[in-house]
Structure 1
Amino acid sequence: MDGLLRSHGHHVKTYASAIDFLASPGSENTACLISDIQMPGMTGIQMYDELSARGIHIPVIFITGHPSAPPKTRAYAVEPVAFFPKPFNCAELIACLESVLNRPT
């Protein structure tokens, strides 16, 4: 993932876990977050809900190995931008990311 995004000119920061991301300084300034849903310690959905509870609304693209219906987030959370089942089409993911990054704020 890191190499794919960098090869398209994007600045990338990676984290070992959702907990590490939440603890990182400046995480609220993230332009777009790409996260797996199933991770050890804290799922991507739990991380997303925690960001929302903190009042941090980052566009999120989820990647999942379980392509059934997208999981539910808490009622007060803004819905994620997209869900991509594994294996995903790299061109579609990049197009989605670039659409998010080019949105007016």
Structure 2
Amino acid sequence: SEESRSGYPEPSDKEVFILHVNSQNIEFILSSHGLGATDLYPIHFSYELVSMSPSSLPNMSRESLLNILKDAINIFKYNGIRDLEENEKTLIEFDF
């Protein structure tokens, strides 16, 4: 959520993902956008990278970290690894 003028949190299209890689937390802030459903994939959305901190690790490039994030999200899908039925209907795209 984001702070509004009223001071109360408001819904946002941004999501925070924290990956623990090589003994360090990497914080990714992504925005998600729903995309048109198809017969095969009624759940279809795209993620766009808003920020990433830190942007790299001593032995890992930014690209490597983004690939780890993409793999993790593709496994998690829509409602987590255990929701196999919904995950089969989910298509995720990345704009980064």
Q: Report TM bin, short chain.
A: under 0.3
Higher alpha-carbon Rg: 2
TM-score of the pair, normalised by structure 1: 0.24
TM-score of the pair, normalised by structure 2: 0.25
More strand by share: 2
